[in-house]
Amino acid sequence: MIHSLFLINCSGDIFLEKHWKSVVSQSVCDYFFEAQEKAIDVENVPPVISTPHHYLISIYRDKIFFVSVIQTEVPPLFVIEFLHRVADTFQDYFGECSETAIKDNVVIVYELLEEMLDNGFPLATESNILKELIKPPTILRSVVNSITGSSNVGDTLPTGQLSNIPWRRAGVKYTNNEAYFDVIEEIDAIIDKSGSTVFAEIQGVIDSCIKLSGMPDLSLSFMNPRLLDDVSFHPCIRFKRWESERVLSFIPPDGNFRLISYRVSSQNLVAIPVYVKHMISFKENSSSGRFDVTIGPKQNMGKTVEGVVMTVHMPKAVLNMNLTATQGSYTFDPVIKVLTWDVGKITPQKLPNLKGIVNLQSGAPKPEENPSLNIQFKIQQLAISGLKVNRLDMYGEKYKPFKGVKYITKAGKFQVRT
């Protein structure tokens, strides 16, 4: 399926190549570069490119293009999903999926790629299995390795791959047994000019960090499971149990993983926690405009809205901006025309405001459209959908684990049209 993989950085250097079948020349990437040139920006490089002899399927992650070479028909999502899994694995191993990290760990990267694909077909993609086969680097181990010449290849053979619980290895031991669940909800919304909601929905995930000894069998139940309209599961979850009882029953992988992701049914009205008052105008036949934005809290259930950041992609004609912020600080990048206002926490007593003059290129026509405002924010200790974890039970092990649940609401793709 996947013939070869090339990793390409932003300046167009191929800094890693790996072939699973016979070798494909680097020159195949020229077709990719061609497509990249045609696209306005990296985001617009088409993920699937057809060349005379091959097909190129690529993803863009963390300033790296993962370009895979395909020779025959294959579901494109299969490849895309796999490439993202590769990037996730790098992230997991090296803490970041950057060019430097990959170059520094090229041998581990190669070993990983070797294990993840056999003849272009995925072999082991579970992080648990991989970590048993190839140990992730740590500073201590790298020092020890360089002195003693020992290896980062696991000397014990992984059991997970062979068992019917491939996501968990045997013989896990912890002194402190802990299970943490983060319920993270993101609000995707489009707010129109007048402040009414055009579209809003809640996308949530439950990320878990499970450090439990042995083979614990967990079941997690919710106070209001009916809220979850559409759910996707980690393979460890017993689907039938969810269907019949709406309980998440599973033997967890060891460590960090995403348990479920869900969408809250769109019938439920989504509470929008902030409002924005805006006045952006460009005068006809003059080289300036006015900019005035205020952000305020709304329906926040008694919790503070924090980590508020506003980014605005200003029209091309904007030269510079002279603004004053009552709170936080703002920057305007005149090259990419992006205004960023880091607001911080919103206190209802004194609403943050950003106001001032926009300088336009003289002679350029007045921008047609006002830019839309992209807002980010965070609310701790609140799941905006109202989802609540009821209880977590553990079977199969004797000890008493420490359990914790955290709720966070964040802005997803939250856009205010002006």
Partner 1 sequence: MSITSSPHWEEKGGANELLVQIENEDLKQMLESSKDSAKLDAMKRIVGMIAKGKNASELFPAVVKNVASKNIEIKKLVYVYLMRYAEEQQDLALLSISTFQRALKDPNQLIRASALRVLSSIRVPIIVPIMMLAIKEASSDLSPYVRKNAAHAIQKLYSLDPEQKEMLIEVIEKLLKDKSTLVAGSVVMAFEEVCPDRIDLIHKNYRKLCNLLVDVEEWGQVVIIHMLTRYARTQFVSPWKDDEVVEEYSENNFYESDEEQKEKDQKVKNTYTMDPDHRLLLRNTKPLLQSRNAAVVMAVAQLYWHLAPKSEAGIVSKSLVRLLHSNREVQYIVLQNIATMSIQRKGMFEPYLKSFYVRSTDPTMIKTLKLEILTNLANEANISTLLREFQTYVRSQDKQFAAATIQAIGRCATNITEVTDTCLNGLVCLLSNRDEIVVAESVVVIKKLLQTQPAHHGEIIKHMAKLLDNITVPVARASILWLIGEYCERVPKIAPDVLRKTAKTFTNEDDLVKLQILNLGAKLYLTNSKQTKLLTQYVLNLGKYDQSYDIRDRTRFIRQLIVPNEKSGALSKYAKKIFLAQKPAPLLESPFKDRDHFQLGTLSHTLNSRATGYLELSDWPKVAPDPSVRNVDVAELAKEWTGILGKTKKEKPTEKFYSESEEDEDESSSTSASGRCLESNLHLPCLKNSIFRTGHYLKRIRKKFKKSQSYVAAPVSVPTKTHELLHRMSGKGLAAHYHFSRQPGIFGDRMVSVQLTVTNTTDQKIENIHIKEKKLPPGMRMHEFNPIECLEPAGSITVSMGIDFCDSAQMASFQLCTKDDYFNVNIQPPVGELLLPVTMSEKDFKKEQGMLTGMNETSATIAVAPQNSTRLVIIEKVVKAANLGVVPSGQDNIHRFAAKTVHSGSLMLVTVELKESSTAQLIINTEKTVIGSVLLRELKPVLSQG
DSSP 150-203: --SB-SSPPSGGGSS-TTS-S----SS-EEEEEEEEEEEEEE-TTS-EEEEEEE
> Closer to partner 1 at the Cβ: 190 or 351?
190
For partner 1, the binding residue among 63, 95, 96, 153 (CB under 8 A) is 153
Asked if residue 252 binds partner 1 (CB under 8 A), the reply is no
Span near partner 1 by CB under 8 A; candidates 68-76, 277-285, 339-347, 380-388: 68-76
For partner 1, the binding residue among 9, 71, 294, 340 (CB under 8 A) is 71
Minimum CB–partner distance for residue 92 and partner 1 (Å):
15
Angle at which helices 106-116 and 76-94 cross, to 10°: 140
Minimum CB–partner distance for residue 124 and partner 1 (Å):
9
3-state SS, residue 227: helix
Q: What backbone torsions phi and psi does residue 203 show, to the nearest 5 degrees?
A: -115, 130
3-state SS, residue 243: helix
Footprint on residues 359-398 left by partner 1 (CB under 8 A): 365-369, 371-372, 374, 395-396
Contact 412, 188 (CB under 8 A): yes
Footprint on residues 8-37 left by partner 1 (CB under 8 A): 14-19, 21-23, 26
Minimum CB–partner distance for residue 369 and partner 1 (Å):
4
Q: How far apart are CA 368 and CA 284, in angstroms?
A: 11
Asked if residue 399 binds partner 1 (CB under 8 A), the reply is no
3-state SS, residue 164: coil
Span near partner 1 by CB under 8 A; candidates 77-85, 279-287, 291-299, 352-360: 77-85
For partner 1, the binding residue among 12, 30, 34, 50 (CB under 8 A) is 50
**How is residue 263 written in tokens?**
């969408």
Span near partner 1 by CB under 8 A; candidates 258-266, 271-279, 291-299, 319-327: 258-266
**How is residue 9 written in tokens?**
């950085």
For partner 1, the binding residue among 30, 38, 95, 119 (CB under 8 A) is 119
Q: How far apart are CA 212 and CA 233, in angstroms?
A: 20
Q: How far apart are CA 278 and CA 264, in angstroms?
A: 29
Site pattern 315..354 for partner 1 (x: CB under 8 A): xx--------------------------------------
On the CB side of 148, how many CA atoms lie within 13 Å of its CA? 9
Site size for partner 1 (CB under 8 A): 113
Q: How far apart are CA 125 and CA 117, in angstroms?
A: 8
Span near partner 1 by CB under 8 A; candidates 48-56, 176-184, 286-294, 295-303: 48-56
Asked if residue 80 binds partner 1 (CB under 8 A), the reply is yes
Q: What backbone torsions phi and psi does residue 150 show, to the nearest 5 degrees?
A: -80, 175
Minimum CB–partner distance for residue 284 and partner 1 (Å):
11
Footprint on residues 177-216 left by partner 1 (CB under 8 A): 188, 190, 192, 198-199, 201, 203
Footprint on residues 122-151 left by partner 1 (CB under 8 A): 122-123, 125, 137, 139, 142, 146, 148-149, 151
For partner 1, the binding residue among 38, 95, 106, 326 (CB under 8 A) is 106
Q: How far apart are CA 103 and CA 352, in angstroms?
A: 44
Asked if residue 75 binds partner 1 (CB under 8 A), the reply is yes
Residues facing 404 on adjacent strands:
180
> Closer to partner 1 at the Cβ: 236 or 274?
236
> Closer to partner 1 at the Cβ: 122 or 328?
122
For partner 1, the binding residue among 105, 128, 327, 409 (CB under 8 A) is 105
Contacts of 327 (CB under 8 A, 6+ apart): 343, 344, 350, 352, 353
Contact 330, 341 (CB under 8 A): yes
Q: How far apart are CA 292 and CA 370, in angstroms?
A: 12
For partner 1, the binding residue among 33, 174, 180, 233 (CB under 8 A) is 233
Q: What backbone torsions phi and psi does residue 337 show, to the nearest 5 degrees?
A: 60, 40
CA distance to 7, 57, 92, 271, 415, per residue, from 51 (Å): 18, 11, 33, 48, 38
Minimum CB–partner distance for residue 342 and partner 1 (Å):
18
